[in-house]
A and B are shown apart, each in its own frame.
Chain A
Amino acid sequence: MSSAASTPAFRIERSTRTSWIGLVLAIAIVVLLVSVPWWGGEDDLRLIVEICYTIALAQLWNLLAGYAGLVSVGQQAFVGLGGYALFGLTILAGVPPLPAIVLAGVIAALIAVPTALIVFRLRGAYFAIGTWVIAEVYSEVMGLIRDLGAGTGMSLPVAISRHVGETRFDREASLYYVGLVIGIGTVAVVFAWLRSRQGLALTAIRDSETAAGSVGINNDRTKYAVYLLAALVTGMIGALIYLEKLRISPDSAFDVIDWTADIIFIVVIGGIGSIEGPFLGALVFFALRYFLADYGAWYMILLGAVAVVIMLLAPRGLWGLVADRFDIHFFPVRRRVRLE
């Protein structure tokens, strides 16, 4: 329609005041993190790496479940495949460990292509169960590979870990920076993805799949892209984890509690469907673990109880409460119209 009057003057804003504060804060935190190897100990480095990859896994799961509606209970498949790819590439193919991390991600993504063909035929709860079953299948398959230790697993030869650094501290510091890059890189990629045209499609699908199709959005391809991205980065994370642990076995590499259930806990209590939520969830998770580490089984019971209470009282997680009350967004993915 060509209406007689012309379009009113307008501007599209993509940032908020809190997002600028957030940016300054983020830069300060990154600078601080980069300096840790100069003043921190090995334990500090290990803990920060763990926090980094946990937040990365949570961001990816949030992208899958919170946006694409793909409630996967099988992301441990790609942690395990990434870990095993690293062992295979370094031990059997002689690839240096750091490039092997990237290649492990690529391998995980390649395996995700046929995996998606199977699990994408399933919907809702069946999808969740299907992804879990497939992860178990990959675990069994890895347990058959004799060169990689079969069912009992194997250790990474010292000669290979030497590639990462001569001294123990050098190795920890190198892996620390890899973990930092993966953690920050994942958040940056997820943020950029959600701000882009892809993100517009993804949020539309989250809100109504039917309507998304009717406005020309290719739902399957949009979800497929997210699934492959998650597999790629999860595979790299798996490789990093087992390069640090120096020992792999099917039971630990494909562990549903460590690599998926804990992550779901973090995303759900933090706030599903936002970038801020997984950060908040990870904070709560690590705090609970720190204070309750000595109580054994009570720790798991309390973790479950916290999750249930938050799900009942705040279905959109802790960040949902904050965002509703104060309307703050550190990672603005919205487009605001400002008429002039």
Chain B
Amino acid sequence: MAPLLSLEHVSKNFGALKVIDDLSLSLDAGEALGILGPNGAGKTTLFNLIAGDLPVGAGAIRFAGEDVTGLPAYIRCRRGIGRTYQIPHPFGNMSVFENVLAGAAFGATRREAESYERCIDLLRLTNLLGKANLPAGKLTLLERKRLELARALATDPKMLLLDEIAGGLTDTECQLLIETIRAVHRSGVSIVWIEHVVHALIAVVGRLFVINFGQKLADGEPRAVMESPQVQEVYMGIEER
């Protein structure tokens, strides 16, 4: 079976700086993939390329059997690529409920009234139902991150790109988040998760992909990847919680 997502020799430069350098990557439907790498390795840029927020410099991106390289972000979203932002981008003057509704009404192209129930369910899942009528701009950082998740899920993604949503959580909160993402994964959504909180990542994903200087450093079973000499070297000094 063809993979759900494949990047073929993708490169991206910012001026003279090579941020993504001839990177290839593939993801099967139903997989959960973790992405690790030091700061500045190009992880968020990789998401921007996959989601269509940035055009690739070279190479091709295929999703669900279609070449999406030239498609704008909103069409990729409708094809099933959902994403959260590392730095949350809430619609600050809209209510929390309307934020999620926007995802359901446009990403999933449902009629507005048919989306209401789904939005309520997602707000409950992300524990934001009590704040449904609050302007999203009034949420705390952690609540904004949960809103990112709810809004991305509202678009009915086939694949969910999660960009560092576990940072700053207490152990209990982190455990809840892990349960939530597992439930999303069980429901059939493929996951690609960038995260520095390695133990949370390993609790969910079945495969790890490590990038450094925009190139693949390792790819495989999480424990084997973490113990490989190259990864150990790059991660020297970065503690594993």
Interface of A toward B, CB cutoff 8 Å: 1-3, 7-8, 10, 12, 197, 200-201, 203-204, 206-208, 210-219, 273, 334-337, 339
B77 lies within 8 A of chain A by Cβ? yes
- Within the complex, what minimum Cβ distance (angstroms) separates B2 from chain A? 24
CB–CB B101/A335 < 8 A: yes
Interface of B toward A, CB cutoff 8 Å: 51-53, 72-74, 77-78, 83, 85, 89-95, 97-99, 101-103, 105-109, 112, 116-117, 120-121, 124-125, 129, 132-133, 151-155, 183-184, 187
- Ranked 4 nearest A-B pairs via Cβ: A216-B107, A211-B89, A207-B91, A213-B73
Report the Cα distance A197→B183, complex, angstroms. 30
Report the Cα distance A208→B98, complex, angstroms. 14
CB–CB B93/A339 < 8 A: no
CB–CB B93/A200 < 8 A: no
CB–CB B183/A334 < 8 A: no
Partner of B78, one of A200, A201, A208, A216: A216
CB–CB A7/B117 < 8 A: yes
| Chain A hits for B53, CB < 8 A | 210, 213-214
Q: Determine chain B's interface SS by DSSP, over half rule.
A: helix
Selected A-B contacts with CB under 8 Å, 23 pairs? A1-B125, A1-B183, A3-B121, A3-B183, A7-B120, A197-B112, A204-B91, A207-B92, A212-B74, A213-B74, A214-B51, A214-B73, A215-B155, A216-B77, A216-B78, A216-B103, A216-B107, A216-B109, A217-B74, A219-B74, A273-B93, A335-B97, A337-B97
CB–CB B103/A200 < 8 A: no
Report the Cα distance A155→B120, complex, angstroms. 61
| Chain A hits for B116, CB < 8 A | 10, 12
Report the Cα distance A211→B97, complex, angstroms. 15
CB–CB B106/A216 < 8 A: yes
CB–CB A208/B73 < 8 A: no
| Chain A hits for B152, CB < 8 A | 214-215
Given the contacts A7-B120, A206-B93, A215 and B107 also touching, CB distance less than 8 Å: yes
| Chain B hits for A212, CB < 8 A | 74, 91, 102
Given the contacts A1-B187, A208-B91, A215-B106, A200 and B73 also touching, CB distance less than 8 Å: no
| Chain A hits for B93, CB < 8 A | 203, 206-207, 273
Report the Cα distance A334→B99, complex, angstroms. 11
- Within the complex, what minimum Cβ distance (angstroms) separates B117 from chain A? 5
| Chain A hits for B183, CB < 8 A | 1, 3
| Chain A hits for B121, CB < 8 A | 1, 3, 7
| Chain B hits for A10, CB < 8 A | 116, 120
Report the Cα distance A203→B97, complex, angstroms. 13
Given the contacts A206-B93, A214-B83, A200 and B132 also touching, CB distance less than 8 Å: no
| Chain A hits for B108, CB < 8 A | 216
Residue ID in chain B nearest A13 by CB atoms: B133
Residue ID in chain B nearest A203 by CB atoms: B94
Report the Cα distance A206→B83, complex, angstroms. 20
